[in-house]
Amino acid sequence: MFGIEALDLARIQFAFTISFHIIFPAITIGLASYLAVLEGLWLKSGETVYRDLYHFWAKIFAVNFGMGVVSGLVMAYQFGTNWSAFSDFAGAITGPLLTYEVLTAFFLEAGFLGVMLFGWQRVGPGLHFFATLMVAIGTLISTFWILASNSWMHTPQGFEIVDGRVIPVDWLAVVFNPSFPYRLAHMATAAFLATAFFVGASAAWHLLRGRDNPALRKMLSMAMWMALLVAPLQALIGDFHGLNTLQYQPAKIAAIEGHWQNHGDEPTPLILFGWPDMQREETRFKLEIPALGSLILTHSLDRQVPALKEFAAADRPNSTVVFWTFRVMVGLGTLMILTGLWSLWLRSRGRLFQARPFLHLAVWMGPSGIIAILAGWYTTEVGRQPWIVQGLMRTAEASSGHGLGQMSLTLALFVLVYFALFGAGLGYMMRLVRKGPITDEGQVPSEGGPGRKRTPSRPLSAADEDLDDNDGDRLAGRN
Amino acid sequence: MGIDLSLIWALIIGFGVMMYVVMDGFDLGIGILFPFVESKGERDVMMNTVAPVWDGNETWLVLGGAALFGAFPLAYAVVLSALYLPLILMLLGLIFRGVAFEFRFKARAAKRHLWDKAFIGGSLTATFFQGVALGAYIDGFEVVERVYAGGAFDWLTPFSLFCGLALIAAYALLGCTWLIMKTEGRLQQQMHDLARPLVFVLLAVTGVVSLWTPLAHAEIAQRWFSLPNLFWFLPVPLLVLLCTWALLRAVVSNAHYSPFLLTLTLIFLGYSGLGISLWPHIIPPAISIWEAAAPPQSQGFILVGALFIIPFILMYTAWSYYVFRGKVREEDGYH
């Protein structure tokens, strides 16, 4: 059937479930830190706008966190159900790292999240701020462990192979493998940026509808400072990450560049656009700039970048895919930098909150961070192929070997259930965003707590907005 | 090293799964009992009795999966791939009911029945396939050179399907007695009326599973019925009978707390029986916890974190059950 095999379906299934999952943790990481900053500023300055924003975003954070927990349930099992040969081969290393990720997330949810979401009226401001900080740090520690595991699959070290299986020898070397610091910095920064653009778009959406208050202005202003300062920083981190990849995974770089062959001593050109064709072993319709590839990747004008034909055909990643996912990521990154610069120009003229074309751009840039994260992950993961653990195990040897029928059935079920349920979840988040921040929300004692009528205690019960637009039937249903 | 890390991890994971079965057991049970209760107000109460705790309950399942991967990667690989379809269906069921749980309260009246159905369907699916997976686990797996060598549908046997139904009965009784403890008035009365037939159903299915297992597996029969084991293990079935008798009496005498506690004891006894039948095999019928273990440097590495974090989680869990103790009433708002 279309030449699709069970292995492809297994890969699509993993890509699908993890793509859905990653959206939630990415926003969780960003919002947790944003909330910590807001609360810190509120305690320091006493300006109520920070407190109002804290309460507004805490609800969205809560829904998002809940979605992340539910979609993460599948991830904890999928390595075993779908990639059992990999789990047996590399489990002694990736298993403990995943265990630590789950333990950290569990620890965080068990303790500080409750205080953060429901303790505003019940603990002192200092303790509450501490809880928010711990949640923010906790999300980053979770990121630390899961990226250590993933980075080890790209640049494995600190192990030996006994009886055909990986055995950890030096945990420090395993965790701090060569690509880990770059990937961690790149992903954490990406989560911050994605959140900043989401926050900025929410503010711009309200401003375009004629709603204007200090909280909305503060949202947009903070988001655009992030865009201005962090988007260029992210480009720099990405550059370092790329150099690291060139050193350890040169085939991935060659595929990203659509670069098939070096000619004589010529420096490598940079192909801006084109269509890498895996069968023809060339990049068709290409538009290239001489020597720029060498300049960017080797920071010189004479050293060459490795070319795809230097690798056996069986060891080449799919250039067509990564060439384009990489360009989507970089293109969006460039747009983010430009948005930041435009915001600075408008800010200097005092028109940041009025310029409609800019506000429209800010709305459209809302999902840019999420899309860039997905494109970046496709680049690095597809770029590692045909390996699941670089140089040690091929993806084709890693799967559980389920048949085509089973894989098609489960994939269809995942698609159906995820779109229906997480679609409803995302829709609900958007609904909360549309409601906008409320002035003085934090001053009214919230309902609930032990011994009170309402005792919210789970992430999603922090948000009390209804799921649908309510007309008359709301009253009818609530009697 | 003198410390048997594999044994410690087997106990931790065994404990985690036990916590999961008990705690998610009663909240899945509430989904199973939903069809027996028609009124919206009473359904709200049912959900509110578990609302503060259900997601914490489910996190034990994530922890169990991740810890199995870390401590016994071979078992994680073989068992999970062998049980592919039932586990995926169970996970999808859990996702369905998790999201339905949250959105039922936020939906308007015209759509609430859809979320109700999703909640019932998700709870039944998750429970049934959990039971099927358990049955298939008892039946054991064919493993050749560290890889599952059986077919895609080996899990689908009359025994495993029966275990699926048995688990529905067990979770329904857990949910039923939980509600007797947590509610009052008409809803509690309804649960009282349901408890008796459910106890008999559970006793019957437990009996069938307890006989079917040794009849189908000679080594399990050997474990139970050889001497002196028989004398060591005899208390288990005797205690089951004693508990069932006490449970029936408690229901008749309209007790509030003891039915739930006795059901917990029953579940615990069943779980011990399972442990006796399978020990020390983590991949039945032949691969032991030591053979499936990760190297000591992996098991030791995660033990540090687990010993620090698990007590903290237990304290917090105990605290949240303490905070939400007592009866739940209809006028209590949504948690």
Domain boundaries, chain B: 5-193+282-323
Handedness of CA A245, A247, A250, A253 (dihedral sign): positive
Q: State the smallest CA–CA distance between residue A38 and chain B in angstroms.
A: 27
pLDDT reported for residue A460? 67
- Contact between chains at A461 and B98 (C-beta distance less than 8 A): no
Residue A474: pLDDT above 70?
A: no
pLDDT at residue B1 greater than cutoff 80: no
Distance (Å, whole) CA A329 – CA A332: 5
- In the predicted model, what is the mean pLDDT of residues A182-191? 96
Q: Using a CB-CB distance cutoff of 8 angstroms, which residues of chain B are in contact with residue A92? A: 73, 294-295, 298
Name which of A63, A81, A408 to mutate to probe chain B: the one with the most chain B Cβ atoms within 10 A of its Cβ: A81
The pLDDT assigned to A476 comes to 37
> Which amino acid belongs to residue A273?
F
* Chain B nearest C-alpha distance from A251 (Å): 30
Residues from chain A contacting residue B332 (CB–CB below 8 Å): 453-454
CA-based nearest residue to A194, from A437, A346, A29, A37: A29
For residue A244, give every residue at least 6 positions away whose Cβ sits within 8 Å of its Cβ, in sequence order, or none: A178, A179, A182
DSSP A109-172: HHTHHHHHHH-TTTS-HHHHHHHHHHHHHHHHHHHHHHHHHHHHHHS--SEEEETTEEEES-HH
Give pLDDT, residue A454. 47
Q: What is the pLDDT of residue A452?
A: 41
Residues 71-110, chain A, touching B (beta carbon < 8 A): 71-74, 76-77, 79-82, 84-85, 87-88, 91-96, 98-104, 106-107, 109-110
B 252-311: CB under 8 A from A: 294-295, 297-298, 301-302, 305-306, 309
Per-residue pLDDT at B149: 86
Contacts of A98 in chain B (CB under 8 A): 66, 69-70
- Of the pLDDT bands very low, low, confident and very high (cuts 50, 70, 90), residue A34 is very high
Say whether B51 and A457 touch across the interface (CB within 8 A): yes
pLDDT at B201: 94
Evaluate if residue B127 carries a pLDDT over 70.
Answer: yes
Identify the residue among B12, B47, B48, B69 best suited for mutation to test binding to A, counting A beta carbons within 10 A and taking the highest: B69
Six-digit token pair at A231?
A: 């988007």
Contact flag B62-A107 (C-beta cutoff 8 Å): no
Q: Which of residues 188-227 of A touch B (CB under 8 A)?
A: none
Chain B residues with beta carbon closer than 8 angstroms to that of A448:
333, 335
Which of A110, A405, A458 is nearest residue B313 as measured by Cβ atoms? A110
Residue-wise pLDDT tens digits, A198-243: 999 999 999 999 888 999 999 999 999 999 999 999 999 999 999 9
Least confident of B44-53, B84-93, B123-132: B44-53
pLDDT at B99: 83
Average pLDDT, chain A: 87
The pLDDT assigned to A473 comes to 38
pLDDT, tens digit (0-9, with 9 covering 90-100), for A79-113: 989 999 999 999 999 999 999 998 888 777 666 88
Confidence of residue A265 (pLDDT cuts 50, 70, 90): confident
Residue B278 pLDDT exceeds 70: yes
Residues of B in contact with A428 (CB under 8 A): 103, 106
Q: Does B140 touch chain A (CB under 8 A)?
A: no
In chain B, which among 56-95 make CB contacts under 8 A with chain A? 56, 58-59, 61-63, 65-71, 73-74, 76-81, 83-85, 87-89, 91-92, 94-95
Asked if A73 lies within 8 A of B58 by C-beta distance, the reply is: yes
C-beta of residue B43 within 8 angstroms of C-beta of residue A477: no
Amino acid B135 reads G
Given a cut of 90, whether residue A372 has pLDDT beyond it is yes
What is the ipTM metric for this complex? Answer: 0.88
Alpha carbon distance B173, B36 (integer Å) = 13
pLDDT of residue A475: 36
Does any CB of chain A come closer than 8 Å to the CB of residue B55?
A: yes
The pLDDT value given to residue A458: 66
pLDDT of residue A456: 56
- pLDDT confidence of residue A253: 92
Q: Is A473 on the interface with B (CB under 8 A)?
A: yes
Contact between B65 and A103 using a beta-carbon 8 Å cutoff: no
Above 60 in pLDDT, residue B62?
A: yes
In the predicted model, what is the mean pLDDT of chain B? 88
Asked whether A172 and A181 are in contact (CB, 8 A), the reply is no
| Other beta carbons within 10 Å of A55 | 21
B-chain CB neighbours of A77 within 8 Å are 65, 80, 87, 91
**Residue A160 or residue B219, greater confidence:** A160
Nearest residue in chain A measured CA to CA from B99? A421
**pLDDT confidence band for A442 (50 / 70 / 90):** low
* pLDDT digits 0-9 by tens, B283-320: 988 899 999 999 999 999 999 999 988 888 888 788 77
Q: What is the pLDDT of residues A395-405, one digit of tens each?
A: 998 988 888 88
Q: How confident is the model at residue A380 (pLDDT cuts 50, 70, 90)?
A: very high
**Interatomic CA distance for residues A241 and A248, integer angstroms:** 11
A408 touches chain B (CB under 8 A): no
pLDDT above 90 as % of chain B: 46
**Are B335 and A456 an interchain contact pair (Cβ–Cβ within 8 Å)?**
yes
**Rounded to whole angstroms, how far apart are CA atoms A238 and A187?**
10
Report CB contact under 8 Å: A168, B112.
Answer: no
Q: What average pLDDT does the segment B105-134 reach?
A: 89
pLDDT surpasses 90 at B170: yes
- Mutation to test the B interface, candidates A421, A426, A430, most B Cβ within 10 Å: A421
Mean pLDDT of A400-414: 89
User: Using H for helix, E for strand and C for coil, what is the string for A35-89?
Assistant: HHHHHHHHHHHCCHHHHHHHHHHHHHHHHHHHHHHHHHHHHHHHHHHHCHHHHHH
User: In the structure, what pLDDT confidence band is assigned to residue A175 with cuts at 50, 70 and 90?
Assistant: very high
Q: Which tokens belong to A365? A: 């840039």
Q: How confident is the model at residue A471 (pLDDT cuts 50, 70, 90)?
A: very low
The answer to whether B335 contacts chain A (CB < 8 Å) is: yes
Point out the residue among B69, B80, B95 whose CB comes nearest to the CB of A70. B95
Report how far residue A310's alpha carbon sits from residue A98's, in angstroms, rounded to the nearest whole number: 35
The pLDDT of residue A379 is above 80: yes
A465/B69 Cβ within 8 A: no
- The three-state secondary structure class of A104 is helix
User: So what's the pLDDT on residue A63?
Assistant: 86
Give me the mean pLDDT over the B42-61 stretch: 80
pLDDT score at B41: 85
Q: Hey, is the C-beta of A402 within 8 angstroms of any chain B C-beta?
A: yes
- Is the confidence at residue A297, as pLDDT, over 60? yes
**Residue given tokens 């795809």 in the structure block:** A308
A321 C-beta neighbours (distance < 10 Å), count: 18
- Predicted pLDDT at A281: 86
Mean pLDDT of B123-130: 96
Nearest to B152 among A111, A402, A453 (CB): A402
- Residue of A9, A78, A86, A102 to mutate when probing chain B, most B C-beta within 10 A: A102
Residue A463: is its pLDDT beyond 90? no
Q: From the CA of A352, how many Å to the nearest CA of chain B?
A: 36
Of B76, B99, B320, the CB nearest to A421: B99
